Every structure is written in structure tokens, then in C-alpha cells.
Chains A and B, each alone.
Chain A
Amino acid sequence: MFEEYSMAELTDILFMQGFAGLILFSVLVLMALGLAIIFGQMGVINMAHGEFMILGAYTTYLTSHIFETYLPALFDGYFFVAMALAFLVCFALGVLVEWGMIRFLFKRPLDTLLATWGLSLILQQSYRTVFGAREVGVTLPEWMMGSYAMTETIEVPINGIFVMVLTLFIASGVYFLMFRSLWGKQVRAVVQNRPMAGAVGIDTGKVDRYTFGIGCGIAGIAGSAFTMIGSTGPTSGQLYIVDTFLVVVFGGAQSLIGTIASAFTISQSQSTLEFFLSGSMAKVITLLIVVGILMLRPQGLFALKIRQ
């Protein structure tokens, strides 16, 4: 399949596909980070994660409209406001869901899965009722459009670079939150030994609630970033949920590094294969490889060494 390309062209193709893969990687990481916190730390399967992401995307869409209509002068910076709002909205809804539903189901992970699936259906239909079934897109500010030409043949889109920088920023934020802050320490203590953490004075219920909320909030930011590169519809979230779960499981549920590494592997292999095969076959092969590896190594790439 390589004969018709010259060596230089092939490198350029690989580079461009690699960059497309990096953008996919960024979105996957953003989505998976929230899920890794919820699933890895709390052991809760949140099937509505994709819908939280879409909530963030719709928040961004609304914010962009408000800025466009009322504050056109500040339009260039609307995205940062939108991101903060997306986080807050999703955080609030996440806390509410944890309070109303998840906390009763901690001991029954499979039931949480079904209940959050129900939630996702309700959210989807709400989006359809409020925003309509058609996909919506946001207007990007001037500075985010266009692309940056690195060489004559290689061009990289600026919004892609922005999403990547954002991912880097959020990922390091999550790292500091989980491993360098008092709150992170409390979360990890609750995960390791709930009764003991409670005994030393940690309010485990509150920790759970905020953990879930933050996980959902990060999904909101992911949704916000998602609007930069694609349009949003009521069912867009569902398309990503399997990929995201696979990313988290593949990386090893409790390891942030694992999540990032597996998001990288999955997105790169998919976008590289996409060039040579059809999109659907690329996806099938990528998922099959992941499922195959998971069958051989069920604990994922980076498993914490714990006694079973």
C-alpha cells in the first residue's frame, strides 16, 4: 500500500495523521480523566459521562451566543468564560446526581451502571427537547481559526494546538489535585479504606460527592473543548462513551499515567490506521486490539500493585 507515495510524502502523511491523532488524543484524555477519577477512585460506572460532556458543549454553545449578541467586544475571550461555566454547570449537576442517586448504589456497581444509563437517556431527550435534534456548532473567535504552516506540506490547525495545550493544563491540574493536595489525599484515603478514613475524621460522603462532581466538571471542560473541533448533537456523547471506558480500563483503572498512555495508544493507532483503511475498519481493528490485550492483561497497562 506504500508504493504510490514517496518517502518524504509518507513522512508528512504520518506527521499529519499523527497530529490528527493528537487532537483525538486530547479529547479522549479530557473525557477519560473525569471518568478515571470517578471510576478509578470511586469504582462507580458513570454511563452518563458522555452526556455530561455534551452538557459542557451546550453550555459553551449558549455562552458563545450570549457573547455574540450582547458582548461582541469580548468575543475573543468568550471561550475561557464558557469553559469555567461548563465546569460549574457539570459540577453542580454531578453533585446533585451523586446526592440523589449514586450514594445509594455504592455497593452495587452493576446497578449504578444501569441507573446512570437511565440518566443518560433522560439527559439526551432533554437536550433534544431544548436544543433540537440537529447538531449545533459554535463560532470560533478569529485567533483560533486558520492553521499554522510548519513546512510547505505540513499544516497544523490552531484550534487543535489550543485543545492540546488545554489538555496538558487540565491533566497537570488533575495531577496536582489528586497527588499534591490535601483533598486528593483524602480521596485516596477513602478509596483505600473507607471505614478507616471515616474514623480519622474525613467526611467520606462529602469526599464522594465532590469527587463525583469534579469528575463530571472535567467532562464539562472536555465538552467545551469538543466544540472547538466538532459539532454537538444530543447523541454525540454516546459515540464516545465506549472509547472512553476502554481508555480507562486499558490504562489501568486507578492510574492517571495509564489513562494518558492508553489514550495516546488508542488515538494514535486509530488515526494512523484511518489513513490506510476505511474509518470504520480502523476503529474496529483498534478496538479489537484493545479488547484482545485486555483479555490477555485484564488489569490494564499500568496496574497498581495491590493485594487482591
Chain B
Amino acid sequence: MQQRSNIRFMSRQEVLGYIMLAVILLAIIPLSLDVFRLNLIGKYLTYAFVALGLVLCWGYGGILSLGQGVFFGLGGYCMAMFLKLEASDPESTKIQSTPGIPDFMDWNQITELPWWWEPFRELPFALSAIVLLPTLFAFIIGVAMFKRRVGGVYFAIITQAIAAIMTILIIGQQGYTGGVNGITDLRTLLGWDIRSDSAKVILYYVCSAALFICLLLSQFIRYKKLGRILVAMRDREDRVRFSGYDVANFKIFVFCLSAMFSAIGGAMFTLQVGFMSPSFVGIVPSIEMVIYCAVGGRLSLLGAVYGTLLVNWAKTIFSETFPELWLFAMGGLFIAVVMAFPNGLASLFKRYIEPKLPAWYSGRAIDSKAPILETDSSIETGQANALGSEENIGLSKSLTKPEAGITVVPRTDEKLEGGVYVD
């Protein structure tokens, strides 16, 4: 188990990377931008939660979900329902024919709050719903799909269909969900005005902090054996299965986790932007979220944040100046990132910028070869570790005999043909 000793929770580069991101997000951006732009960056950061979930789910687990918008939306709607109920107290809605219910319900001739809206009056319930409801939904989808070994493009198509169903449902049930406009006009959180400038700054910091927690959690998963198994599963699903692991459970786990991240992002979105609508749930936004992750580099956790910021910033600039060019740019980006830079910004950074950085950046020479799962060789290392480690259950140990070298045979032929993991 020699390789194992090289793998630490974070390599020196990663520690520096996290510090760098923290400086950018917590100091440079808030100090250099006005509140409006800061709020905008905060909105972009909420998409980074989704991109981060996709790095784990797609980059590491090999499961491409085209329905992340559903979870983003569920989280956002749970938050919006709580805020809306707070905003529609009988006092401020007394001009309605039924005071005390959200305005869009009144417009749709609904005279009573539906029973499933009722619990959202309580903040603890709303907060736990934000985390649990999308996770539970992802769990149901995951169990139904992965236990039957549905994967790859089929999974992508079905999650896409679910995103479509969700949008149609939300738009169709106008009286209960606010329809196309979504849930708007959210004002306070427990009496605290979320539309004021100071609240926007505070929410920006809350959002950044939450993002860092999610990043560190992902880093932790990547460092544990779980991360290794995910990668092994992506590359050689059958081999992992034959080693005695229940592949489906790992897939369900990582899918649920990515759903949870997306939902937290959605809730932060609602808080910062002040509304939630079906336009963040459907197929188009869901696929757009995939591109944030792909631009950053589908294997890079930090890359997901940078990719999201960059694409959204470009989107804002383009739509402000040349709106008609944006779709061309976006389409070109999809094609370019798939055909020319499958590992996104992260691989460009590794290839062109890192070698030029001073020696203190890379630390000892061995470290530059060691970072897990970023290069082709380390993917193989990760796989060997996952299958050959001593903590494996007895079956795999007796079957695979790592010391005999059976599991460590590198199968680089297919890696190279696939082209994805080759820099």
C-alpha cells in the first residue's frame, strides 16, 4: 500500500487553492464590488453548489443527472414557501378576499391554505425540508434507477424527463405554486428585512460560508475510501461489483448528496434574489448547470466554483451588451468544452500555469505527482487502492489478492481511447 501514504486530506496545492478561493470570495470580491454586484456574485455562487454536486456525481461517480434544477428548485421553493407565508400575514394582506394566504392563491380563487403549505410556517420545518425533501426525492429516484442498473444516457434522459414534469406541474398548478411567475415578493426572514443592503452583504457571507462547508465535505469524501470507490465504479463498474461492493448504494449516496447540495444552493438563491420561479427548475437551466461544472473541470471541486463564476459572469456581460450573441457563445462553449477541454479550466491551470509557479507552491517534488484523481495515473492508483486496501471486506480480499498484482494491472488502453482523462 505504498500509494496510500501519498494521499493526504489535502495536498499543498489544494490547501493553497482553498486559501486563494477564500481570499477571493471573502475579501477581494466584497471589498471591490458594490452591493448590487455583490448580490449578483452571491447569486452565481448558489449555482456553484449545484456544480459542486455535479463534480461528485458526474465527475467522480460517472452519473450525469440532467435534473439538478429539480433539486435546486425544491430547495428554493421550500425556502420561498416559508418566506411567503411570513410575508402574507393577515395584516399586510387585508385587501385580499381571503386575508392571510399568499397573494397568488387569492388571485386563483383559493380560499384556504392547502394542508401541505401549513407546516412551512415554522422555520425549523422549512429548513429541514430544504435539506431532506430533495434528498428523499433523489433517494427514491436513485433506488428505482440504480437498483435496476439503469445508468448512463438512460439515467440522463429520465432525470431530464423528471425536470420537464416538474416544470409543467409547477406552471400548471398556478394556485398552489404561483405558476410561471413563481413565488415572488418575499420580504423578511423572522422579521429581518432580506432586501436591505446590509442583509444582502450578510447573506453573501452566509452563502460563501455554506459553500465552503460543502467544499470541505466533498474534499473529505474524495479523500476517504468512498471517493476511491466512486472513481473505481465510474471506470470499472463490474470489477467493483465483483469485489463485493453494492455499486447501487454508492451511486444512490452520491446522487442524494448532490441533490442536497443543489437544494442548499436553491435555498440560498431564494434568500438572496428574493423569489423562486419554475425557470430555474426545467431542462434548460438543468443542462446549463452541467456546463458550469464542465467548464471548471469535472474532476475539480474548486474548478466548479470558478467555472460557475466565469460562465455566469460571461453570461451577464454578454446579455447586457450583445444579447443575441449569448446563445451562440453558450453553444460554442458546450462544444468546445467537450471536444477540446474535457477537463475544463482545471486541466488548463495544471498544464500551463502550475509549471510556471514558484517552487514553494508545489512543495516537495513528489507532491506534484501525488494529488489524487486529477491525472490519468492517479486514477489508476485510486482504483487500485479502492480495490486492494486492507479495509476491504473479506470477500474482495480473498478474491482479488492485491499482493499478486491482479487488481493493479493498469488498463490504459481504454483510458486513452476515451480521451476524457487524458491531459
Contact = CB atoms under 8 A, between A and B. Distances in A.
B148 A295 contact: yes
A250 to B, nearest CB: 10
Contacts of B35: none
Nearest to A298: B150
A265 interface: no
A126 to B, nearest CB: 8
B61 interface: no
A284 B168 contact: yes
A46 B392 CA distance: 41
Leading 9 A-B pairs by shortest Cβ distance: A118-B334, A280-B172, A121-B331, A122-B331, A125-B327, A295-B144, A118-B331, A118-B335, A298-B150
A191 to B, nearest CB: 15
22 contacts: A43-B153, A108-B418, A108-B419, A109-B152, A111-B342, A114-B290, A114-B291, A115-B335, A115-B338, A121-B327, A123-B331, A124-B327, A246-B157, A249-B154, A280-B171, A284-B165, A284-B168, A284-B169, A295-B145, A295-B148, A298-B150, A298-B154
Interface residues of B, number: 46
A307 B419 CA distance: 27
B334 to A, nearest CB: 3
Most chain B CB atoms below 10 A, which of A117, A120, A238: A117
B322 to A, nearest CB: 11
A126 B170 CA distance: 30
B331 A107 contact: no
A128 B172 contact: no
Interface string A95-132: 00000010011011111111101111111110011000
Contact of A125 (B148, B161, B331): B331
A124 B327 CA distance: 8
Interface string B133-174: 000000000001100111011101110111011001101100
Contacts of A128: 324, 327
B64 interface: yes
Contacts of B58: 110
A276 B156 CA distance: 31
B183 to A, nearest CB: 18
A111 B338 contact: yes
Nearest to B141: A295
Contacts of B310: none
A287 interface: yes
| Secondary structure class of chain B's binding surface, majority of residues | helix
Interface string B290-306: 11001000000000000
B330 A121 contact: yes
A296 B9 CA distance: 41
B330 A118 contact: yes
Interface in A25-59: 43, 45
B328 A122 contact: yes
Contacts of A187: none
Interface of A: 43, 45, 101, 104-105, 107-115, 117-125, 128-129, 238, 242, 245-246, 249, 278, 280-281, 283-284, 287-288, 290-291, 294-295, 298
A110 B168 contact: no
B339 A115 contact: yes
A242 B163 CA distance: 10
A192 B125 CA distance: 54
Contacts of A123: 331
Contact of A245 (B149, B161, B171): B161
Contacts of B161: 242, 245-246, 287, 290-291
Contacts of A111: 338, 342, 420
B153 A113 contact: yes
Nearest to A45: B153
B331 A280 contact: no
A117 B148 CA distance: 27
B403 interface: no
B132 interface: no
A285 to B, nearest CB: 9
A117 B334 contact: yes
Contacts of A45: 153, 156-157
Contact of B339 (A43, A104, A242, A284): A104
B114 interface: no
B332 A291 contact: no
Given A101-B339, A109-B153, A118 B333 contact: yes
B417 interface: yes
Nearest to A249: B157
A280 B283 contact: no
B164 A287 contact: yes
